[in-house]
Structure 1
Amino acid sequence: MSWATGVMVYFVIWWTVLFCILPLGVRRVENPGRGQEHGAPEKPDLIRKAIITTIVAAVLWVGFYVLHEADFFSFRRLEGS
């Protein structure tokens, strides 16, 4: 796997994990002010969620890399079938 492919795979994993992490720990505002959406989170904690996403995505990427280098799954084998 080239470094460019590794970066792209990490980006896809990171983005997917971000959407899994975003709803965790969200509490709605009880009494929203004027012009405030009823479903808006009280405290979104985006920096903390980005850090958690980065760590989880790194662990998943390492797992993907190990499986890829061990040739656990290969699309090239399907080509000859």
Structure 2
Amino acid sequence: MISQIGSLLAIYFVLWWVVLFMALPFGVRNRAEAGHSSDEIDGTDPGAPVAALMVRKALWTTLISAVIFAIALYAYRAGWLGVDRLVKLMGIPL
């Protein structure tokens, strides 16, 4: 039972990071795109974001990951998503 919970947490953790990396580019604007003056602050990259909005992205990532994880877990428990079925779909002989 403990190993099953650990496996589920590990799968959710990997899924969360994948979704986070997919969400990172959304809403990012540099100084020029945000309408700030063209004067650059010394020592900053011209493409650096004005506001990364990481808290909002982390919350959305958690929500989206939880929904995807719940759907995948339901599909696995219902028998729609299993190793045997995936092997057959990919055409790999056992």
Aligned to 2:90: none
- How much has 1:58 moved relative to structure 2? 0.4
Deviations 1:15-58 (A, max 9, x none): 00001111101111123311001111111111111001000000
**Residue 72 of structure 1, CA deviation:** 1.2
Aligned Cα root-mean-square deviation (Å) = 2.0
Q: 2:5 aligns with which of 3, 6, 12?
A: 3
Q: Give 5+ residue unaligned stretches, structure 1.
A: none
Distance 1:48 1:74 in 2: 34
The runs of 5 or more residues in structure 2 that have no matched partner are 33-37, 88-92
DSSP 3-state at the match of 1:27 = coil
Percent identical among aligned pairs is: 32
1:61 aligns with 2:69: yes
1:24 aligned residue (15, 18, 26): 26
Larger Rg: 2
Name the count of aligned residue pairs: 81
Q: Which range moves more in the overlay, 65-74 or 12-21?
A: 65-74
Greater relative contact order structure (CA < 8 Å, 6+ sep): 1
Distance 1:55 1:74 in 2: 24
